[in-house]
Structure 1
């Protein structure tokens, strides 16, 4: 439902779709387990595919189901030296007896990955941190000619895997809100990376039937004082996932891979105090200005928010009387450019 004919649906369509899945019906753990397996099964492609693999419950459960269904796949893990996700992925792959390819990146390699990711998704630190993991894993898979990948995206929202789920009274209400927020936070990032690299990302935890079923589970069954995603971990064990994998604590991709640490180290090495300022050097911005108050104020607001404007862009019509262009103000733009430095 995220894509229609390979194009990302609009945010309005996504929110409408999520609202349509709400129901007052109740379900069982058995039905939820069935829907999890089916959500993976229906997406398995005919050709060999990849799994973005961290050794956590989400990606490991996907790998286990794919193995049980005798699918042809390779797991991929990336990170810096001593990254928690690399170690967890190696242990999980051994327990599952699945093929794993992993790569440990140095800072020189990371700068290229970070630069490429920033050019695709923009200079947002969180988006670059998470997106770099996807980008690096997809690049690692190139030699295997893998272009389709399973991702665990969505599990945190439907099974209450974030700290914010602990802090609210109505867990499922927060889950619904999180699902809607995924469009801006996750979909745009992953869609842009996928389109840039020519890959497809499959998200079984965002299957419509699975969302509907998972959201019929009471919030109190999704977490307790010790664990988040409680019911998913129990189901994972029932399906056959080892206990040490099923109950491994969640670590966000950018932290488990240490890619966020790489951004910080590179920022400091390049003389930047903040990670965002470092990323901005890979994302030159121009401001389209007509000399009028609206475009000048918009540029001013961008500067106040910390964006560096590299140049001012204006258009001069061949027809000086055109109503489509603010031709009389073109000379003023030159003066405004000097004033802004």
Structure 2
């Protein structure tokens, strides 16, 4: 995804260039192509810097004193031209927005009237903002705001628009609730499967003829179907799996890749590699939360390998578990509370996954200069999936009992039945990242007497927080625990960040 940083000045006398440069330096990983606009290019209160990889997931146009940036995978070029010339953006409820790809987009527009940041309801592109004495700063990553001393960035939620009027002192936020269709019990299973198949094909068609594409591969039905569909429309598709030696994934993915007849690169990691990459990973995903680190670890290592292989796009299979009832808790809820309760739970979970999972995964991938592609979170596919009644997602007596209709969809689209029906553990367990992180911490940390009674997971969290503090990340208050930690790797990476921030 494109990297965007910008400043709106409440005081004309305040120069934005020093702050803008430091923010942009923090986004260097987003790409070498750079567009900087300020002064006569924009309204005098604005300064904007855009870093971009060479991919097709964003569009930027500058005309006169107007600038338009659209982050999204399936936005038609004629719509970009029309948006540049209009004063009022399409809303997420606009009937045209879905077919034109805007319901998945993040739109930034500046002109003489001010700044408009619109994050439509299904956008996987996050953006953050915070006010301070010079005005308002915004960025697609929090680390750029941290770089200029802003420690409490606010995320613009899906469905929200941030409006900065050039003639008003304070920005305003307008919120529009994401809308989903209700469950459609009048359509047959065959009709719903046909619609799901059509929507998913359309989604992958926006990658038509793309070259050097990677797929985060676990061997489960989600990533296997994504790999197969990418193979149909892209050139030079490679599967990437990062896992610990002897983990569940190591053998499983090799058999799955052979069944798909696709190239697979297995990237092993051990406790030394994990400890070495930990500071950069934490900085990339912008959190020290243990579960996030465990989940992002194999993604980050795989993305490093994809970058080294020359790939530009990395496909993630995130989404079907929330859309089609893939967790054990879904089967329990269906059995205890019934179909309607599960329908409502899935609707809630798909909204939550944008906040909890997608931003983390996108940053782990984007830090390596790659564009992340989440096909199952395309707005039209999500809407179709939520129309499917839960009774076709859960089969209490079936094997497997969860994601039933999605597995049928995968088979209809050409996935071998062995892959469509195979079981799959959560990433942090199947890849071995949880155990290896724990081992890495236990070897690098000397536990003092005052924390010897703490549970191992709590000690791991304390260590991750210590690393985050070393990197200058704003960390909530933590217990006054004495830890003797080998922080040489964190020191080295912190020094590297510091050198970048001082670069002129």
8 Å CA contact retained: 2:318, 2:374? yes
Candidates 292, 311, 323, aligned match of 1:127: 292
Q: What does residue range 155-174 of structure 1 map to in structure 2 within 5 Å?
A: 155-168=320-333, 169=337, 170-174=341-345
Name the structure with the higher strand share.
2
Q: What does residue range 104-143 of structure 1 map to in structure 2 within 5 Å?
A: 104-120=268-284, 121-143=286-308
Report what 1:243 is aligned to: 417
Q: Secondary structure at the match of 2:401?
A: coil
Structure 1: gaps of 5 or more residues: 289-298, 309-341
Q: Deviations over 1:109-145 (max 9, x none)?
A: 1112223212233210111111111110011112221
Whole-angstrom CA distance in 2 between matches of 1:231 and 1:157: 13
Report what 2:220 is aligned to: 56
Q: Secondary structure at the match of 2:330?
A: helix
Q: Deviations over 1:269-321 (max 9, x none)?
A: 22453321221231117799xxxxxxxxxx9x72369999xxxxxxxxxxxxx
CA separation of 1:3/1:130 partners in 2, compared to 1, >3 Å: closer, same or farther?
A: farther
Whole-angstrom CA distance in 2 between matches of 1:132 and 1:261: 12
Q: Secondary structure at the match of 1:72?
A: strand
> Does 2:259 correspond to 1:86?
no
Report what 1:202 is aligned to: 373
Report what 1:282 is aligned to: 467
> Does 2:275 correspond to 1:77?
no
8 Å CA contact retained: 2:183, 2:388? no
Q: Secondary structure at the match of 1:73?
A: strand
CA separation of 1:48/1:268 partners in 2, compared to 1, >3 Å: closer, same or farther?
A: same
CA separation of 1:103/1:287 partners in 2, compared to 1, >3 Å: closer, same or farther?
A: closer
Whole-angstrom CA distance in 2 between matches of 1:287 and 1:139: 22
8 Å CA contact retained: 2:366, 2:372? no
Query: Deviation of residue 147 (structure 1)?
Result: 2.3
Candidates 211, 221, 228, aligned match of 2:382: 211
Candidates 230, 244, 269, aligned match of 1:66: 230
Whole-angstrom CA distance in 1 between matches of 2:193 and 2:298: 32
CA separation of 1:236/1:305 partners in 2, compared to 1, >3 Å: closer, same or farther?
A: farther
CA separation of 1:198/1:235 partners in 2, compared to 1, >3 Å: closer, same or farther?
A: same
Report what 1:339 is aligned to: none
Query: Deviation of residue 41 (structure 1)?
Result: 2.4
> Does 2:159 correspond to 1:13?
yes
Query: Deviation of residue 248 (structure 1)?
Result: 1.4
CA separation of 1:35/1:122 partners in 2, compared to 1, >3 Å: closer, same or farther?
A: same
Structure with the bigger RCO (C-alpha within 8 Å, sep 6+) is: 1
Q: Deviations over 1:151-178 (max 9, x none)?
A: 0111111111122222323222111111
Q: Secondary structure at the match of 2:402?
A: coil
Name the structure with the higher helix share.
1
CA separation of 1:91/1:171 partners in 2, compared to 1, >3 Å: closer, same or farther?
A: same
Report what 1:303 is aligned to: 478
> Does 2:106 correspond to 1:4?
yes
Candidates 28, 38, 44, aligned match of 2:192: 28
> Does 2:263 correspond to 1:99?
yes
Whole-angstrom CA distance in 1 between matches of 2:268 and 2:301: 10
Whole-angstrom CA distance in 1 between matches of 2:104 and 2:380: 14
8 Å CA contact retained: 1:86, 1:102? yes
Query: Deviation of residue 213 (structure 1)?
Result: 0.6
Query: Deviation of residue 209 (structure 1)?
Result: 0.8
Whole-angstrom CA distance in 2 between matches of 1:127 and 1:24: 32
8 Å CA contact retained: 1:51, 1:150? yes
Q: CA RMSD in A?
A: 2.8
8 Å CA contact retained: 1:18, 1:180? no
Query: Deviation of residue 5 (structure 1)?
Result: 5.2
Query: Deviation of residue 98 (structure 1)?
Result: 0.6
Aligned residues: 297
Structure 2: gaps of 5 or more residues: 1-102, 109-124, 128-155, 162-174, 448-455, 484-504
Candidates 183, 186, 189, aligned match of 2:360: 189
